[in-house]
A and B are shown apart, each in its own frame.
Chain A
Amino acid sequence: MAGTAKKKPRDKRAWYQAASALAMNAWLPGWLKGRIFQGDIKGVCVPVLNCYSCPSALGACPIGALQTSFGGLRFNLSIAEKKFGLYVIGFLGAVGSVVGRLPCGWLCPFGFFQELLHKIPTPKVRMPSFLSYFRYVFLALFVVALPLLVVDEFGFGETWFCKWVCPAGTLQAGLPLVALNTNLRALVGFMYYWKVALLVLFMAAMVLIRRPFCRAVCPLGAILGLFNKASLFRMAVDDEKCTRCDQCLKDCPVGIRIYESPGTPDCVRCLKCVSSCKFGAVSYEFLKKREVAEDLRVTSRA
């Protein structure tokens, strides 16, 4: 019945992603001056991986802030200020409790960057599913354990994930600041080349694989994903309507079959599966209100 088939709803998500990237990086003079924004609102965390050393960034990266909190904890000094990262952990938990990993799908500039690179027409590769567990390793090791336990002579830990891994920092801060600021250019050494090489490697992977950084590395995605099953915003699939045609898998930016587990921590809640399912089997629910594509109503399981 091709003639009577309803038109697919137009995907406006890219516009939201672009608007979000601009809104979080709206201090454009930073690009001219080669300096970062230093206003009082910069202590406000953003719910995405957006480097606070990007010249135009207006907010704080929660993963950088979390590592700083853990790195500054000095258990052995009674006079030291003890900041446990409650503000950042509370912020991430509150976001996760409400929407789970939805910011990854709709707001994250680095996720948007990966999706844009993946549009380059080349043969595509499927990421082995076991690699998705690696993001928990990065979270546990680089964000929590190493900043907490490996300390200098003054008892301070480092931001290990930012220093050794984060390609978002290299892209948003490293490349532009070094290009714009001659003082920083003089300090370039092995670490800089390591991070640029890692960024190039990730970018090559992004062309071939759907959002590989989000799926295998991102510690923020690992944290927010833990809430996917228990957040106010939930995905739901109607087993009676689902034919396992795998159209959702074909359209999914993170390559998952939503019907296997609607609450999977891998889902970035882009809602592509909701609009692509021609049987109206996939829906989402927020504050008891259920939405499905094309005015179809379903009984669903969360």
Chain B
Amino acid sequence: MKRILPWVLLALFAGMMAAGLLLGEYRAVLEKAVTVCLDCIGIG
């Protein structure tokens, strides 16, 4: 079980990542990342 668990988790999360990409979440992250984050700077 201890040997299999990491592979199960990896498959699960890789699947989630793929689903997120198919749902266009990469674009959403990109849009946030290319805009200056005023909250991060402290003037939001």
Q: How far is the CA of A212 from the CA of B13 in the complex (A)?
A: 29
**Would you give the 0/1 interface string for B1-29, flagging 1 where the beta carbon is closer than 8 Å to chain A?**
01001110110111111111101111111
Q: In the complex, are the beta carbons of B23 and A97 less than 8 A apart?
A: no
Measured between beta carbons, the chain B residues less than 8 angstroms from A155 are none
Find out whether the CB atom of B26 lies under 8 angstroms from the CB atom of A87. yes
Task: Give every chain B residue within 8 A of A38 (Cβ-Cβ).
Answer: 34
The answer to whether A189 touches B37, judged by C-beta atoms less than 8 angstroms apart, is: no
Secondary structure at the B interface, as helix, strand, loop or mixed, is helix
Which of A43, A51, A83, A302 lies in contact with B2, CB distance below 8 A? A302
Main secondary structure of the interface of A (DSSP, over half): helix
Contact in complex: A162, B39 (CB < 8 Å): yes
**A227 near B: Cβ within 8 Å?**
yes
- B30 partner residues in chain A, CB cutoff 8 A: 40, 42-43, 60
Q: Give how many A residues have a beta carbon under 8 Å from the other chain's beta carbons.
A: 60
Are B27 and A43 neighbours in the complex by a CB distance under 8 Å?
yes
Nearest chain B CB to A96's CB is how many angstroms away? 8
Any chain B CB within 8 A of the CB of A268? Answer: no
Chain B residues engaging chain A, CB cutoff 8 angstroms: 2, 5-7, 9-10, 12-21, 23-30, 32-34, 36-44
A-B contact pairs, 29 of them (CB 8 A): A36-B34, A37-B34, A40-B30, A51-B40, A52-B32, A53-B37, A60-B29, A60-B33, A64-B40, A68-B28, A68-B29, A86-B17, A86-B20, A87-B25, A88-B29, A90-B19, A93-B9, A94-B14, A94-B17, A96-B9, A159-B40, A169-B39, A169-B42, A170-B40, A177-B36, A187-B38, A192-B41, A231-B6, A232-B10
